A and B are shown apart, each in its own frame.
Chain A
Amino acid sequence: MKARVHVMLKDGVLDPQGEAVRHALGHMGFGGVEGVRQGKVIELDLSATDAASAEAEVKEMCEKLLANTVIEKYTIEIA
């Protein structure tokens, strides 16, 4: 079973890297990019076979390590 975790900065937390990417896109001639937010994707291979328990386990991983919930939010996909 695979899990994919998306970690993004919370809304309202300034993303200096995303802003730099937005400026670069503007310089390159891509008009109309009003905002860029940069995050990360973490893929996990799990031995679990039950989607619900896998999701619960990955949620605990997110809370304890994969995301810093002071500034980041996360979503989990199980497949």
Chain B
Amino acid sequence: MKAAVITFPGSNCDRDLSMAFAAAGADVVKIWHKETALPEGIDIIGVPGGFSYGDYLRCGAIASRSPIGQAVADFAGKGGYVIGICNGFQVLTEMRLLPGALMRNAGLKFVSKPLALRVATTDSAYTSGYEAGQEIVIPVAHHDGNYQIDPEGLARIEGEDRVAFRYVENPNGSVDDIAGVLSENRRVLGMMPHPERAIEPAQGGADGAALFRALSGMLATA
């Protein structure tokens, strides 16, 4: 598996995400935001957490319109795998690769703590390493993680089994406790919790490792 991790000005989880991919056996290339094209042979793009472009205008808005952002959108448009974590999730919704939007947390506070999630579907390259309904503990760290979508959109993603993870206890007001969402082709995942911060016990938990292992198994080059 060859993974590309994008670094925007203000990204701060790009190294963690690179390490999580590498720990699962991936070759990782880091892509600076000034690049306008991706290298050949990329299997998956990681859009990391942080505060791209200082969260100016709206979280993820500027990154989603940057030249490398366009390359990411094109890659996804051709059926490529893309995972966006935290700010990366915000970027992917701003690109409209994923439906809905991330708003200010309902409690207005920045929430930073490990949280229990329930695996809502195992039908994706990201979640096939978990059991349906399994509870896993993954850290969250965000101010704008309040996932909102109109009722028709919500009915659609739920009807299509596209909710990847739900919070066991909702920390931010997200509709229907949604913590992660898949695209229609199930190849783009956005999630607010940070699986890359839970890949080995020294980090306080390793429940995120199965996500990267499952991906690596699915995208391994023959």
A contacts, CB < 8 Å to B = 13-14, 16-17, 20, 64-66, 68, 70-71
Q: Does B80 contact A (CB under 8 A)?
A: no
> Which residues of A are found within 8 Å of B104, using beta-carbon distances?
16-17
Q: Does B192 contact A (CB under 8 A)?
A: no
Query: Considering the chains assembled together, what is the distance between the CA atoms of A16 and B61 in angstroms?
Result: 20
Q: Nearest CB to that of B99 among chain A residues?
A: A70
Structural contact, A16 and B103, CB atoms closer than 8 A: yes
Q: Does B94 contact A (CB under 8 A)?
A: yes
Structural contact, A16 and B101, CB atoms closer than 8 A: no
Structural contact, B106 and A68, CB atoms closer than 8 A: no
**A-contact bits for B147-161, CB 8 A (1 contact / 0 none):** 011000000000000
> Which residues of B are found within 8 Å of A17, using beta-carbon distances?
104, 108
**A-contact bits for B111-153, CB 8 A (1 contact / 0 none):** 0000000000000000000000000000000000010110000
Given A16-B103, A16-B105, A17-B108, verify A64-B65 contact (CB < 8 Å).
Answer: yes
Query: Considering the chains assembled together, what is the distance between the CA atoms of A20 and B105 in angstroms?
Result: 12
A–B complex contacts, Cβ < 8 Å, 22 sampled: A13-B103, A13-B148, A14-B103, A14-B106, A14-B148, A14-B173, A16-B103, A16-B105, A16-B107, A16-B108, A16-B146, A16-B173, A17-B104, A17-B108, A64-B65, A66-B57, A68-B94, A68-B101, A70-B93, A70-B101, A70-B149, A71-B101
Given A13-B148, A16-B146, A65-B61, verify A70-B108 contact (CB < 8 Å).
Answer: no
B52 to chain A, nearest CB (A): 14
Q: Nearest CB to that of B96 among chain A residues?
A: A70
Query: Considering the chains assembled together, what is the distance between the CA atoms of A64 and B62 in angstroms?
Result: 11
A68 to chain B, nearest CB (A): 6
Of the four ranges (under 10, 10 to 19, 20 to 34, 35 or more), the interface on chain B belongs to 10 to 19
Given A16-B146, A17-B108, verify A65-B57 contact (CB < 8 Å).
Answer: yes
Per CB-CB distance, the 4 closest pairs between chain A and chain B, nearest first, are A70-B101, A71-B101, A16-B104, A16-B106
Query: Considering the chains assembled together, what is the distance between the CA atoms of A12 and B61 in angstroms?
Result: 22
Q: Does B58 contact A (CB under 8 A)?
A: yes
Q: Does B100 contact A (CB under 8 A)?
A: yes
Query: Considering the chains assembled together, what is the distance between the CA atoms of A66 and B104 in angstroms?
Result: 18
